[in-house]
Amino acid sequence: MNIRDLEYIRAVARTTHFGKAAKACNVSQPALSGRIKKVEDELGVKLFERDNRSVRLTEIGRQIVPLADEALNVVDNIRLTAESVRDPLSGQFKIGAIPTIAPYLIPHFVRQSRDALPGLKMRFQEDITERLNQALLNGQTDAAILATPPEHPKLDSIRLYDEPFWVIFPKGHSLRTIRGIKTKDLPVDELLLLTDGHCFRDQAMDVCKLSSAPEGRPIQATSLATLVNMVAAEQGITLVPAMAMQDGPTKHSVVIAEKLDDKKAYRRIYLTFRKSYPRLQLIEKMADVIRANLPDSVTKL
């Protein structure tokens, strides 16, 4: 068994398809299938169940694939450690961000990061918190910009900024009569939220002291833009993070946006990474670049 064999196993586990795995590994399907069969013969166990339509991990396969991931992460770290000695601020760098951050923050620093780190080739990934955390642990991503502190013992983070919440409501809403709207003033039964899996949904509920989402709301959206459009259609109210205001939620002449007059109505943003990641100097430099290019609507940490 060699490193390439482990890469083949991981590819099949992720794609659940031998053809797609072979394409991802830049080999022919017979070559990939043959190597995996040799590994299975060597181990004396079947890693995958195969039929004409699908590929599934066996029970022992589900135990072995995480070990293969760990072994490949070690190999990657060996390469990165050697690379960091040659030039710690160059090479490939994969960075993720959640959907309520990525479209608003990345444009602020992507050009400046190229100037500050000319030898770095950056790749961006937008996804929800749970999947980005898993990508970090699996070594698929080097760092992620998240709105929650790391909960796994293998992860660490650098604080980037605090971001206030704004409330968006129809122009004819009773909130328009309140000066300095506080969280306690919000009609939570009218609150429109993102779908499950988005941490901003949980943060909005936490700020509003909700143990569960309001029942009977007309939509649970996957984007802040959809929520704002629903407010414009007078279907309720919603909360958005401060940087989303630059996307023009008040372009609708029928909505009003107000910053919540509440010290606790904010979220903290982190740059999260594996503790074992060998290029800490690069992580710290990236955090500096991000913080140096933040808009005035947030508080740099």
Q: How many CB atoms lie within 10 A of CB 78?
A: 11
pLDDT at 241: 94
Q: Show the tokens assigned to 290.
A: 């991000």
pLDDT band at residue 81 using 50, 70 and 90 as cut-offs? confident
pLDDT at 293: 93
Residue 249 has pLDDT above 70, yes or no: no
What's the mean pLDDT in 116-133? 92
Residue 217 has pLDDT above 90, yes or no: no
Burial of 101 (0-12, 13-18, 19+ CB in 10 A): buried
Residue 247 has pLDDT above 80, yes or no: no
Residue 78 has pLDDT above 90, yes or no: no
Residue 195 has pLDDT above 80, yes or no: yes
Domains of the chain, earliest start first: 3-82 (1.10.10.10), 87-153+276-300 (3.40.190.10), 162-259 (3.40.190.10)
Task: Name residues whose C-beta falls within 8 Å of residue 37's C-beta, 6 or more positions apart in sequence.
Answer: none
What's the mean pLDDT in 13-17? 90
pLDDT at 211: 75
What's the mean pLDDT in 200-227? 81
Residue 85 has pLDDT above 70, yes or no: no
| 76-80, 103-107, 177-181: least confident range | 76-80
Residue 273 has pLDDT above 70, yes or no: yes
At 26-69, the pLDDT tens digits run 999 999 999 999 999 999 999 999 877 788 999 999 999 999 98
Residue 83 has pLDDT above 80, yes or no: no
Residue 86 has pLDDT above 80, yes or no: no
Determine the Cα–Cα distance for residues 220 and 217; give it in Å rounded to an integer. 8
pTM here is 0.74
What's the mean pLDDT in 257-273? 95
Residue matched to tokens 């940490």? 301
pLDDT band at residue 79 using 50, 70 and 90 as cut-offs? confident
Residue 84 has pLDDT above 80, yes or no: no
Query: How high does pLDDT run on average in the chain?
Result: 90
pLDDT at 210: 80
Q: Are 96 and 135 in contact (CB under 8 A)?
A: yes
